[in-house]
Structure 1
Amino acid sequence: MTRTQLETLQHTLRNRPVADPAPGLDQQRQFFDAMRAATPLPPGITTRPGQLGDVPVVFAEPPGTDRSTPVVLYFHGGAYVLGSAAAGVPLAAGLAARAGGRGISVGYRLAPEHPFPAAVDDALAAYRGLLDLGVEPARIAVAGDSAGGGLAVAALVAARDAGLPLPSAAVVLSPWSDLTLSGASVTTRAGDDLVLTADTLGQGAADYLGPADPRSALASPGLTADLSGLPPLLVQVGSHEILLDDAVTLAARAAAFDVPVDLQIRPGLPHVYQRFAGTGQLDQADAALDAAGDFLRGALAPALAATVRSA
């Protein structure tokens, strides 16, 4: 990453167009999906819609995909009120391609139409659906960005508590894992964050939670959940994020529960900076996904080695 790249990106974020001075929710959703779709897919990836456990998904697959191909089950961001399976495809595909696998982006239900715990229920249903297809958990990793990062952790906790075998690893990008907004960086990084505001997150939390307790383990897994037994975790975050402390606290609590965890904080970078991978705008975005791919390859290696031995 060059200083020029970062300065140019910061200028772009400060001056990016908005959908409308007071956009309705439908317009916000269209704008968010269009923004996320701007991230290019890796070469050779084909996409197709489908379902897992009656939850809509989009498969992002390289040539030669079969049931033995590792899976990255991906949960998009959007403060639980924005986003779609299609919006999550670029990052799902980018991670999966670097891990030598296929991506599946999950279209979980959104608030306020479907409040907590609908998103967690859908995430768990999609994971169950993948297992029901005969995909071995050792060949599965879960991932997500922002709210989807918190949801990925909540899904792991829910799967463990349901007695399901857990996947091999998890990658979370700029996770929102504390819906109480208690992290100090919500205030201390407010002047640096060019993507999120406390008001935006507060409204998303209110829409998602309704009367539910924001400290619930499945709403704020980085703050209150028992994380024991979870698979190895990679957490990536930029230092110019109001969610910086969410990432740091999640990683620290995972370590306290003896979960192998790797926390990667990159200076000066914005919320979910990985979405700029493949655009030529930010070399660090490509480097971050490369690092995440290496992490996932290492976690999936035993299952891949077993495939080679049985071939």
Structure 2
Amino acid sequence: MMWARFRKRFGGLSSLGYRASERTRLLLPRRKAPMRGVYQQAVLHDTYSIRARVVQRAVRLFMQPVLRYAPITPATIRAVRALDRTSAKAPRSRYVEPIGYQLGGIRVESMTHRLGPTSDMTILYFHGGAFMSGSIDTHRRICERLARLTGANVISVDYVQLPEGAVADSVQDAMRAYEGLLAMCLEPGKIVVAGDSAGGYLTMKVAELATRRGLQAPAALLCFSPLLSLDPERQDKAVERIHPVNDAYLPPKRLPKIRALWNPEGSTIEGFASPFHASAYIDSPLFMTAVEDEMLRPEVEAMSLLLANRDVQVETHIWRKQVHAFPVLADILPESRHALRLAADFARIAVGELERAVPEELSGFEPVEERLIADEVWLDESLAESFVDGETLVGEIEPWEPSAEEEILDGEFKVEGRRWFHRAP
């Protein structure tokens, strides 16, 4: 109503010689059209928090110019990797004890959360970073959260990256880690492979090459803004685009330069160079997230269509006003925590440790009485949490207060008087 009154009052001022400047029009509220999807079964998350908007604006303001103009050389890549190592000093969960070891000759870090549900699942996680940044340290928090939500043993892989190796070498490291896990895992049928961005590329390559090599396929695949081809910026592929690309991170024009480093002359990637073309080799249940205007979204929806046409179980979620691979920012964004809960539920359903939820729950509506936000502690007079035999129970009981021995010191557990809920349309 306020907007209608404003238009009625000032809309006719042009007849008096007045016209709002372009700057003024940009300051006025703009109505956002409802989200649309090529993949009709995708869950569209139309609402967003103020935090998400602030993060998106900050990334566009500070990070995008650096990525647009910084030279892409081995020296700059090593400098970025050095900055990544500072993540090792970030706060960690008191309820997770990371254990480093070799898996198939590849360095990995394993973790299990003490407060998570009991599970025989193992999650093999590949971090993102465009094959030139990111590490076990930068993605330790998302692995801790996945361990908390699923009860799984989460194994983060330190695969080779630029400039030491090309994408083909990263793929071989990923397969060595997967084969090593198959050889040592007590429940190989409950191995879930997950990753974000470039890690999503490796996740899909593991699924493809497992089929090609005659290995047991992963029980499920979890991909957050996955890179499904080495040329996602190309407009001449048979991928329908219904929303203009406005990626908050990487300008599409920089990709040809990066692609030359990803796949240099003389380097051969086993199987298809782009997992987008390998849909015939992928049969594992697949969970994917994407952002409405990111560069990788069109291929995420196209891959969903290809697999759904083969009757492969696919669950795709598309968010508005988020940044690329936003589930990694679960310490900051409520939408990120929501996405991780959905992914964790999908994995538990795939391995048979959780019954399938009703469609309303899968679409993002989570009644307080039925589901627990596992990465927050919220106490009031009628709702509390208790931990019994490693499982979380929710009910109308007396508010639970931790004892001195049980005091929660983990930064991911915060006592708040509110929760964030987002209902998909």
Report the TM-score when normalising by structure 2.
Answer: 0.63
What residue in structure 2 maps to residue 134 of structure 1? Answer: 185
Q: Distance in 2 between matches of 1:61 and 1:202?
A: 40
Structure 1 pair 120–187 and aligned structure 2 pair: CA distance change class (3 A) = farther
Q: Distance in 2 between matches of 1:213 and 1:254?
A: 28
Structure 1 pair 118–214 and aligned structure 2 pair: CA distance change class (3 A) = closer
| Contact residue 137 and residue 166 of structure 1 kept, 8 A | no
* Correspondence for 1:193 among 238, 247, 266: 247
Matched residue pairs, number? 298
Equivalence map 1:197-236=2 (5 Å): 197-211=251-265, 217-222=271-276, 224-236=277-289
Q: Note the C-alpha offset of 1:3.
A: 4.2
Equivalence map 1:1-311=2 (5 Å): 2-16=48-62, 22=71, 24-32=76-84, 34=86, 44-63=95-114, 69-182=120-233, 184=235, 189-190=244-245, 192-211=246-265, 217-222=271-276, 224-279=277-332, 282-301=333-352
Q: Note the C-alpha offset of 1:218.
A: 3.6
Instruction: Give the match's secondary structure for 1:144.
Output: strand
Q: Note the C-alpha offset of 1:154.
A: 0.6
Q: Distance in 2 between matches of 1:13 and 1:36?
A: 22
Report the TM-score when normalising by structure 1.
Answer: 0.84
Q: Distance in 1 between matches of 2:96 and 2:241?
A: 37
Q: Which amino acid aligns with 1:180?
A: D
Q: Deviations over 1:172-198 (max 9, x none)?
A: 0001111122554999644x3211222
Structure (1 or 2) with the greater helix fraction: 1
Deviating more after overlay: 181-190 vs 76-85: 181-190
Q: Note the C-alpha offset of 1:262.
A: 0.8
Q: Distance in 2 between matches of 1:37 and 1:193?
A: 29
RMSD: 3.2
Q: Distance in 2 between matches of 1:75 and 1:263?
A: 19
Q: Distance in 2 between matches of 1:153 and 1:91?
A: 19
| Contact residue 81 and residue 204 of structure 1 kept, 8 A | no
| Contact residue 171 and residue 269 of structure 2 kept, 8 A | no
Instruction: Give the match's secondary structure for 1:87.
Output: coil
Q: Which amino acid aligns with 1:267?
A: R
| Contact residue 85 and residue 108 of structure 1 kept, 8 A | no
Q: Note the C-alpha offset of 1:226.
A: 4.0
| Contact residue 120 and residue 218 of structure 1 kept, 8 A | no
Deviating more after overlay: 282-291 vs 241-250: 241-250
| Contact residue 68 and residue 139 of structure 1 kept, 8 A | no
| Contact residue 140 and residue 167 of structure 1 kept, 8 A | yes
Structure 1 pair 135–37 and aligned structure 2 pair: CA distance change class (3 A) = farther
Q: Percent identity among equivalent residues?
A: 28
Q: Distance in 1 between matches of 2:50 and 2:347?
A: 31
Q: Which amino acid aligns with 2:53?
A: E
What residue in structure 1 maps to residue 401 of structure 2? Answer: none
Q: Distance in 2 between matches of 1:258 and 1:196?
A: 34
